[in-house]
Structure 1
Amino acid sequence: MAGLTAAPKVMPGLPYAKGLQEAAGAGFLLYCSIAAVLLSLKFWYAIRNSGGRS
């Protein structure tokens, strides 16, 4: 069991994979925040213009 816990520290490319994972997480949060802003703007315009048409 001790060998299994020490193995991930020696694997080549692990820092690169961690960097990719952090970048993917940041990109996902950015995507979600932009989607939330666009949806809230869409609802705001829909509520604002709902009484104008008949």
Structure 2
Amino acid sequence: MAGLTAAPKVLPGLPFAQGLQEAAGAGFLLYCTAALAMLSVKFWFLLRNAGGRP
């Protein structure tokens, strides 16, 4: 276990990988927000036009 805790300080690409992970997390949150917004708009239009057509 001691080797696993010391390994991240030695790996040369770790800061780059952490940056990619942060960017991926931000992208996922942006994707979820956009999907929620589009679904909300879709349901709003659906409820708004519910009585219009038989």
Fold shared per TM-score above 0.5: yes
Structure-1-length-normalised TM-score = 0.91
Structure 2: distance between partners of 1:2 and 1:37? 46
The residue correspondences of 1:1-54 to structure 2 (distance < 5 A) are 1-54=1-54
Q: TM-score, normalised by structure 2?
A: 0.91
Structure 1: any 5+ residue segments left out of the alignment? none
**What value does the CA root-mean-square deviation take over the aligned residues?**
1.1
- The number of equivalent residue pairs is 54
Q: Secondary structure at the match of 1:36?
A: helix
Residue 7 of structure 1 and its aligned partner are, at CA, apart by: 1.7
